[in-house]
Amino acid sequence: MVRKNPQAIGNKKIIIIGIILIVTIAFVGSRYIQVEKIENRKTISLLVNYTNITQERFVKIYVPAVDNEGKGVATVLKVGIKPGNGKVLVDINNILFWLDTQQSIQTAKRVAEEVTKADLSKFDLIYSLEEINASVVEGPSAGAALTIATIAAIEGKELTTKVMITGTINPDGSIGPVGGIIPKAQAAKEIGATTFLVPEGQGTQVNYIPEEKCEQMGYFTFCTTTYKKKVENVGKSVGIDVVEVKDIREAMKYFGL
């Protein structure tokens, strides 16, 4: 009868465990290296996009707004980028650019810089509105569109005209609520957009419809007004695909960024 040496058996187990650990570490390490390479390639690609800017280039985006009569309108916002020293230049064809619009531009620039990782201290950004009086474009509600266009200008990409967006932009990249969703959606549809991006929670609108009831009592008529709550789905009401987005990164994919 052959006796097995317990020490030899123990050594074999240690060797087997060691081999398993080495194989596992090698596999995990290779996966990490692959991910690292992919991320590096993305970073290098993005760096090429914006460090390659040698002359002025522009992108356009349609911005929805509501005019003084409550009708939805659309105007063209142009954002350009060129080699410079970090200036923000505004060209609005001799029409006053509201202070809140300037604040939205500054926030849009900061968010775009964070998203793209571009060093905008080496470039100037140019903003301009075309085809309509600037007074109908509320600065805060154009914030999300300003940010999308700034990102596209930095990355050197064209924006689809089939998508429009409304919403404020916050320093953390989140998109805030605005007014006039239904007329803005109508304006988007009229210019041929098929998708309208709105802030989270604004895909439906709550309206209160007044209902008057009158009662004759002798020589007097007494009337009371009550308000009936009506929830309206913006997309179904206007006939356009309405999508709620919570932040600028979520909105970017609809513009192909």
pLDDT in tens, 170-228: 999 999 999 899 999 999 999 999 999 999 999 998 777 888 888 888 888 888 888 88
Q: What is the pLDDT of residue 35?
A: 38
pLDDT surpasses 60 at 161: yes
Q: What is the pLDDT of residue 42?
A: 45
**7 against 248, higher pLDDT:** 248
Distances (CA, A) of 15 to 10, 12, 24, 57: 9, 5, 14, 63
Q: What is the pLDDT of residue 32?
A: 40
Q: Which of 109, 174, 184, 189 is flagged as catalytic?
A: 184
Active-site annotation holds for 237: no
Q: Give the CB-side neighbour count of residue 33, counting CA atoms within 13 A.
A: 6
pLDDT surpasses 60 at 40: no
Q: What is the mean pLDDT of residues 28-32?
A: 45
Active-site annotation holds for 42: no
Q: What is the pLDDT of residue 101?
A: 75
DSSP conformation letters of 148-193: HHHHHHHHT----TTEEE--EE-TTSBEE--S-HHHHHHHHHHTT-
Q: What is the mean pLDDT of residues 116-126?
A: 91
DSSP conformation letters of the chain: -PPP-HHHHHHHHHHHHHHHHHHHHHHHHHHHHHHHHHHHHHHHHHHHHHHT--S-EEEEEEEEEE-TTS-EEEEEEEEEEEESSS-EEEE-TTSPPPHHHHHHHHHHHHHHHHHHT--GGGEEEEEEEESS-GGGS-TGGGHHHHHHHHHHHHHT----TTEEE--EE-TTSBEE--S-HHHHHHHHHHTT-SEEEEETT-SEEEEEEEEEEEEEETTEEEEEEEEEEEEEEHHHHHTSEEEEESBHHHHHGGGT-
Ranked by mean pLDDT, the top range of 54-58, 101-105, 152-156 is 152-156
Q: Which of 104, 109, 128, 141 is flagged as catalytic?
A: 141
pLDDT surpasses 60 at 59: yes
- Comparing CA positions, the residue from 197, 123, 199 lying closest to residue 155 is 123
For the chain, domains (ranges, CATH) are: 57-201+234-255 (3.30.230.10), 204-233 (no CATH)
> Which amino acid does the sequence have at 15?
I
Q: What is the mean pLDDT of residues 11-19?
A: 56
pLDDT surpasses 60 at 18: no
pLDDT surpasses 90 at 254: yes
- Looking at the chain, the whole-number percentage of residues with pLDDT higher than 90 is 42
pLDDT surpasses 50 at 64: yes
Mean pLDDT of the chain: 80
**68 against 42, higher pLDDT:** 68
Q: What is the pLDDT of residue 27?
A: 46
Q: How confident is the model at residue 38 (pLDDT cuts 50, 70, 90)?
A: very low
